[in-house]
Amino acid sequence: MIVVTDKYRLRSEQLANRIVRKNIRKFISDLPLNNITPTTFESVVMSNITEEKIKAMYRELYFAVGKPIYQTIEKKLKKVKFFNENLFNELMALWLQNNAGLNIVSVHSTLIQTILDTITQGYEQNLSVADISRLLQQQGFYRAQSLRIARTETTTITNASTVMAGNSSDLVLDKVWISAQNIRTRRQPRDKFDHLHMNGVKVGQEEDFNVSGEMLSYPGDITNREVRTSAGNIIQCRCKVALVARVDADGLPIRK
């Protein structure tokens, strides 16, 4: 069974968090707050924090975190030292194009609204522009949001990269859902979606997992077959997908 270890996933989440925090901190520091007034701040924020900037952050995030995972899984599957970086770049760029759009829009909208709400509250409390600027640049302002984004996206990146590497191999593989067996893992009836009892469920490489009525190719699959996955099924999910090679009667891996 080939799977990203918990230790490696934690390191990936920490890297993702640093990337998200760095980008959000820069978005805020680049805002020309000295030029805002109560009537212009909304347009200033919206014109400076664009979807293109969020898209660039996502590209940095997915390539930085996904590449070493893809490389590790590919080497384990193919048992070779050569890493096909061009193939990974093509696959990841295509994945981002087809899947990340809704998340980019959501993060962009949420970030702008959070900044606007903070500025509005600052004016209501008669704070100066300098005080509002300091409030926005406090680490606590974006720490929670950065961690939530990083945790959710790490699950998606880790598992998408694992499946990509599996699809590029010549082995016939099955996918196995791995979930943490502890009190934090979502389960019914407490939660709408049940990940606790997904642990160990196996499907074919081209098949989907049925997770409480939603079809996911892997944990964190945000848009499977053009159907948007419910937020409750992916946000802060820590589940993993493992790859298992099918074998013939002699115990040898079956190749495509």
For residue 111, the model assigns a pLDDT of: 92
Q: What are phi and psi of 205, to 5 degrees?
A: -60, -35
Q: What is the pLDDT of residues 191-239, one digit of tens each?
A: 999 999 999 999 999 999 999 999 999 999 987 667 789 989 998 899 9
Q: What is the mean pLDDT of residues 85-108?
A: 89
Tokens standing for residue 159: 């598992």
For residue 79, the model assigns a pLDDT of: 66
Report the run of H or E that residue 10 belongs to, with start and end: helix 6-29
For residue 35, the model assigns a pLDDT of: 85
Hey, which residues does 173 pair with through a beta bridge? 245
pLDDT at 18 over 60: yes
Instruction: Read off the pTM.
Output: 0.88
**Sheet with strand 240-245: strands edge to edge:** 202-204, 173-178, 240-245
Q: What is the mean pLDDT of residues 106-119?
A: 93
pLDDT at 134 over 70: yes
